Chains A and B, each alone.
Chain A
Amino acid sequence: MSKNLRHIVLVGATSTLAIHCARLWLAQGAMRVTLIGRDEARCARVAEDLQARCLEATIAVKVLTSFDDPAVITACVEAVCAAAVPDTVLIAHGMLSDQAQCQQDVATCRDALIVNGLSPVLFAEAFAAVMDKVGRGQIGIIGSVAGDRGRQSNYVYGAAKGLVARYAEGMQHRFAGRGVTITLIKPGPTDTPMTAGLKAEGANLADPADVAADIVQALERGTRIVYTPRKWQIIMLVIRHIPACIFAKLRL
């Protein structure tokens, strides 16, 4: 298979947004896609779906035993980059943690911070090191509107996503004017298995295909921060600017 094919890496490849993004990319033509995930069977299913949609694509799967062990991450990134340095990396994994449980159980709180905050950063850092050497590449990290302001209903998840946001900001500064772009994606509540609980309560959720279209476009353009759906940019602008004395009275 040609080395010149565009190489896209999806970290957290079984996430709904990652899958939808991959489908959009593969609709553009043949490319090399590497799926990184934890669950072998689910990864295989994603690979099967993507392969059926683009028979010419080269799809590889890497199943990791850990998403936060630095040694595992480093080895994985080295192995992936040995095949071909990625042109695009989308870091998409996450888990909507139960705030109440995080407050009751410090271990749950730690796990939520690791999977939503620490782990994405470690992957981004490892891939950025390789991209820095070749002087080109796109990294997309899925943050969240929840990272924009701490709220009583999900501040642990929000704090992890806030970490990702500040990290992305620093990376953008580091790579400013060079060939590597870092895009921070802030989706609003999206219709994915992660939000099944919200949906079961009747929440109005965004279509993942629409959100994915925004993500793909933002990565192609090298946009620094993208809110999707766009209305969340305005909503969060308002929420960020509510004075603390009023904010304290809101049950957001």
Chain B
Amino acid sequence: MVALASWGRLECPAHRLEFLTDRDQVAARLQRVAESGIAYGMGRSYGDICLAPNGISWQTRGLDRFIAFDPVAGRLICEAGVLLRDIQRFAVPRGWMLPVTPGTQLVTVGGAIANDVHGKNHHVFGAFGNHVLGLRLARTDGSIIDCGPQMQPDWFAATIGGMGLTGIVVTATLQLRPVPGPWLVTETVPFVGLDTFFELADSSEAEWEYTVSWIDCLSGAATRGLFMRGNHRAGVAGKLPHGKRRAVPFVPPISLVNRLSLRPFNAAYYELKQRQRGLKIEHYEPFFYPLDNLLAWNRIYGPKGFYQYQSVMPRAAGRDAIAAMLQAIAVAGEGSFLAVLKTFGQRESVGMMSFPQAGVTLALDFPNKGSATQRLFARLDAIVQEAGGRIYPAKDARMSRAMFTAGYPRLQEFLNYRDPGLHSAFSQRLMDPP
């Protein structure tokens, strides 16, 4: 048994590891092993969705092969353990790119599908699942299901955003999008006030493909933040980033993100970025994946780990709900460094259980301080629920059944597609009979 954690490092439960390396053998292996468990790629989801304490952890990184690439249509067939980074580095020099990637490229294709991840261009390209043309699912009864938007679309809709619970994704066919090269023109616009944020978001969506904001959640009613936007740019001959990677070398005894450090952290970040306001040319890697060169950055939250709290709310109620959430955080004397605010577009997600929906999403991180953190979350939950919003399962380790059921109206339908031989701590907590 091996102790395995997710990115939030809240717990480190024991698992029996099973390594998948041969795509033709996955279904047979799943059938042969009697115990239940869940697939594990890079362990980049934050909560308990990739964990199955005392169960099997199906390690998918050995499924890392490309199968075919069509350079004319920009279609890639690959195994589910391939990293998005490998696809990007392969495709960009050939004039293609993944249409949707999250804030890290160190995730597997299977993980991106299971969580139907989104990125900074949701208002243009939707979520990851919108660009999956097909996938192969292996089930623990030994069967194989090939599905896609046109083929067995119900299985496809259950598996996209299906949290790895419908089977193990073995291969996928991905539609890439053309790009002129690795360069973006980006702009950082400092703003004050949530209304200004929404004005910026609305005015940017038509002209800018990528938009995202960092907010200083300690800045009170006049919320200050940095609105960052970007577009692909052709004809740039710049210097490629040197890609020096550093790692947080050890887990500090206490969270480095704390009451004392957060205010100067946030102030310094704002000042630094504020000075870099305006247009610049940037390589896609630092703009899309700012933390990827700091390996194991999750260690800065100390031995108790941290929570991410990401919600999405419909636009109409979103502004006031976000103001209320920031207020609740201030009242609780808490704060978040990686506070990210973004509007989602109208594009419908493919999955029954996909998180993205039209509106506005706020992601926050909190060091785990036990019951104090839980009390704050209860307050935030109430605000999100009142606004008709929901929480992102990929980041969750604590939401209630009521919250989950209310946020995901297709849950009952989804349960019909679950693989009875797979479970996660998340599914036990929120789906299985108590």
Contacts and interface: CB of A to CB of B under 8 A. Distances in A.
B68 A52 contact: yes
Nearest to A16: B62
Contact of A52 (B17, B22, B69): B69
B167 to A, nearest CB: 21
A55 B71 CA distance: 9
A199 interface: yes
A52 B21 contact: no
Nearest to B16: A200
A53 interface: yes
A200 B66 contact: no
Contacts of A200: 2, 16-17, 19
Nearest to A199: B17
A243 interface: no
A55 B69 contact: yes
Contacts of B17: 196, 199-200
B254 interface: no
Interface in A26-59: 27, 42, 45-46, 48-49, 52-53, 55
B2 A202 contact: yes
Contacts of A105: none
Residue in B65, B71, B78, B90 with the greatest tally of chain A CB atoms within 10 Å? B65
Interface string B1-45: 011000000000000110101100000000000000000000000
A49 B21 contact: no
B195 to A, nearest CB: 46
A45 B77 CA distance: 13
A46 B65 CA distance: 8
Contact of B65 (A48, A55, A196, A199): A48
Given A53-B90, A193-B21, A196-B19, A201 B2 contact: yes
Interface string B168-184: 00000000000000000
Contacts of B2: 199-202
A200 B66 CA distance: 26
A46 B77 CA distance: 14
Interface string B81-115: 00000000110000000000000000000000000
A202 B17 CA distance: 9
B204 to A, nearest CB: 35
Q: What is the predominant secondary structure among interface residues of chain A facing chain B?
A: helix
A48 B19 contact: no
A113 to B, nearest CB: 26
B69 A53 contact: yes
Nearest to A202: B2
Interface string A192-204: 0100100111100
B69 A48 contact: no
Interface string B40-83: 00000000000000000000011001111101000011100000
Nearest to B90: A53
A136 to B, nearest CB: 29
B108 to A, nearest CB: 14
Residue in A42, A46, A55 with the greatest tally of chain B CB atoms within 10 Å? A55
A45 B21 contact: no
Contacts of A191: 61
Given A201-B2, A202-B3, A52 B67 contact: yes
Contacts of B66: 48-49, 52-53
B68 A48 contact: yes
Nearest to B61: A191
Contacts of A42: 22
Contact of A27 (B19, B21, B78, B90): B90
A49 B89 CA distance: 15
Nearest to A201: B2
Contacts of A27: 89-90
Contacts of A199: 2, 17, 19
A49 B67 contact: yes
B175 to A, nearest CB: 16
Residue in B69, B76, B77 with the greatest tally of chain A CB atoms within 10 Å? B69
B91 to A, nearest CB: 10
Contacts of B77: 52
B85 to A, nearest CB: 9
A45 to B, nearest CB: 6
Given A200-B2, A202-B3, A49 B65 contact: yes
B13 to A, nearest CB: 13
Contacts of A52: 66-69, 76-78
Nearest to B3: A202
A39 to B, nearest CB: 10
22 contacts: A27-B89, A27-B90, A45-B65, A46-B65, A48-B66, A48-B67, A48-B68, A49-B66, A52-B68, A52-B69, A52-B76, A53-B69, A191-B61, A193-B19, A193-B21, A193-B62, A196-B17, A199-B2, A200-B16, A200-B17, A201-B2, A202-B3
Given A52-B69, A52-B77, A200-B2, 18 more contacts: A27-B89, A27-B90, A46-B65, A48-B65, A49-B65, A49-B66, A52-B76, A52-B78, A53-B90, A55-B69, A55-B71, A193-B21, A193-B62, A196-B17, A200-B17, A200-B19, A201-B2, A202-B2
* Top 6 A-B pairs, shortest CB-CB distance: A52-B66, A49-B65, A202-B2, A52-B69, A200-B17, A196-B19
